[in-house]
Structure 1
């Protein structure tokens, strides 16, 4: 079976590269990935996957399945780019790795049992669809979720930060500055909020961060804005850390509003991301298969300061999110234009094929050895109890 997977992957080698290149050449921002989504769907249909388009009423999301019953092995595709920057984080390779793994596994699964699921998840950079899918029960019947992320160093799957998006709005009286001497404006309240947060941030745990911008605050230096809006990302190691910080900020906003006699509001403006829980059993199996596939040097678990939407999914089903080096030049920095261009190099493509192979072989191990899936799920339930 393993040799069949390896042989099939080599037979679609050029098709996988063309997929990486197409998504790279057609960068689309979150929830507008129409070309990329269509390209992925057409490939899956070509290989006889049953595809649900416009999945859960998200135009650029899809749910594809091959086979029947359990175990249900899920591969994740991400394909949004950063506006005006393109695929500087390599989402084009996330899709090609997952598609390569899913297609190669489909070449043998008819002789076994179980299902291959491929979910197209748009909008990773802005309120990811994975979180919406998780809330709607999409992952409830899935046994494991596998994905790998391109990077500048290969590392095992670790943790990520929990994230909570908080919007703060102040409303005051609109008027000319020269006519409103002695009164506070919504902009005054907004600026005071930033100053207080900057001071308070020095006393919060070093792992936690508060990042904010002013998104609405006037059109003319001589005119006081009636509304001033700011948006913040609150990040911390665990969601309970972040929710405690959220409560303090909400109290701060109310206090500032009361002191300045200005109406204040605070609200969640995107779905929060929970911290990633890596299933170490699943990670161990993948790392073994990655070495068998030719990627020998694997660093320890990487704990990223970023937030990952897969974190929310990992509280529902066993997941891994390892990192794969796709560069052969140490001077290249992650999330740079040079990194994006490097995703189309022969070196990166070789890593894509080897990683897809490792993911597919990991899925094969789970399907063939029922005891592995039991071990994975036992660990998963223990992890949830310890949260």
Structure 2
């Protein structure tokens, strides 16, 4: 049956190539991925998956299931397909979405023998308001025995950690005045923003080394001769664990509240994007995936150890379901995500071939869990142990 999985992916390579190219050539921002959602779900329906769209009230989110009709584990593959502003699929989500359906379709061809169910979750807006957050909060994924995905990269790397993240917006409301004739009548909202930045810079000395705080000023006034009556600062605040992040976020909020008090501006605090939890890789599951990479021909020395950094909505999934988020090679040259070079790599034949390798390894990982009770038991035992620590 392993051969059937590999052969299915090879036989359908042209179809998968067309899907990945179509999504890559038609980039859509988060929650606007109508074309990508359509081609992914139509492909799954062609292979007899039952598809439900508008999951968690997000029009471009979907759940697709192939039910063997026999008892067995629930294997979940995560598909992402949102693009970045201006530079399109510079994070390779055209490959991630296609990789997910390739693995799911291949595994579906053998579940009539193994039992169990194969699930595909279309998860929009990973870059901003990731649907995995809402799916996790609403318990949509809780039935899964495992959740699997892999991310394009410049090399092969085992699944690791990610930083918990809150996206904070500080909107300051002041009072406009002529900046030269009557500045005493004004309340400078931009000063409140600048004071917030200064206070946060002072805070950096007193946080742990895993903490990252970085921000921008999307609105800071309209003209130099008008005291700004409205200004906005936006920050990503990150830390290794959600528990420690919450404490840092409170301190960052205090910086903004102090700036409002000092300047007399009124402050409104909000989250302008969804909060992401830290990724907890299930090491038993990760080892299983690495083993399958080796089975499909990737040399052991090419698979690097895990490395943390960045933030993922897959982190929220990992808090509820045993999960992995490894990285797969799509270029023979060094590349960095969120660049034009990465986008081009995700559209080239080399990038597609890397995606095919990952799809095979993901599908074989799913097959191992469907057929090996001992492996699944170890995965669940580790997950339960991690849950007891949180």
TM bucket by the smaller chain? over 0.9
Greater displacement, 42-51 / 249-258 = 249-258
The one-character-per-residue Cα deviations of 1:205-242 (angstroms, maximum 9, x if unpaired) are: 22211111112222222222322221110011111221
- Structure 1 CA distance for aligned equivalents of residues 360 and 261 of structure 2: 60
Cα RMSD of the aligned pairs, angstroms, is: 1.5
Shift of 1:179: 4.2
Query: Are residues 342 and 251 of structure 1, via their aligned partners in 2, closer, same or farther at CA, if it must alter by over 3 Å?
Result: closer
Task: Give the secondary-structure state (helix, strand or coil) at the position aligned to 2:183.
Answer: coil
**Unmatched 5+ stretches in structure 1:** none
Query: Are residues 109 and 89 of structure 1, via their aligned partners in 2, closer, same or farther at CA, if it must alter by over 3 Å?
Result: same
Which residue pairs with 1:346 in the alignment? 349
The one-character-per-residue Cα deviations of 1:305-340 (angstroms, maximum 9, x if unpaired) are: 21010001100000000001111224x443322222
Shift of 1:265: 2.6
- Structure 1 CA distance for aligned equivalents of residues 336 and 157 of structure 2: 16
Greater displacement, 200-209 / 369-378 = 200-209
Which residue pairs with 2:191 in the alignment? 188
- Structure 1 CA distance for aligned equivalents of residues 188 and 357 of structure 2: 58
**Unmatched 5+ stretches in structure 2:** none
Match of 1:117 among 108, 119, 124: 119
Matches within 5 A, 1:242-281: 242-281=245-284
Task: Give the secondary-structure state (helix, strand or coil) at the position aligned to 1:116.
Answer: strand
Task: Give the secondary-structure state (helix, strand or coil) at the position aligned to 2:216.
Answer: strand
Which residue pairs with 2:313 in the alignment? 309
Query: Are residues 114 and 273 of structure 1, via their aligned partners in 2, closer, same or farther at CA, if it must alter by over 3 Å?
Result: same
Are 1:299 and 2:303 an aligned pair?
yes
- Structure 1 CA distance for aligned equivalents of residues 54 and 247 of structure 2: 37
TM-score by length of 2: 0.95
**1:167–1:229: 8 Å Cα contact kept in structure 2?**
yes
- Structure 2 CA distance for aligned equivalents of residues 350 and 362 of structure 1: 19
Matches within 5 A, 1:361-372: 361-372=364-375
- Structure 1 CA distance for aligned equivalents of residues 302 and 280 of structure 2: 19
Matches within 5 A, 1:50-65: 50-65=50-65
- Across the two proteins, how many residue pairs are aligned to each other? 386
Which residue pairs with 2:175 in the alignment? 173
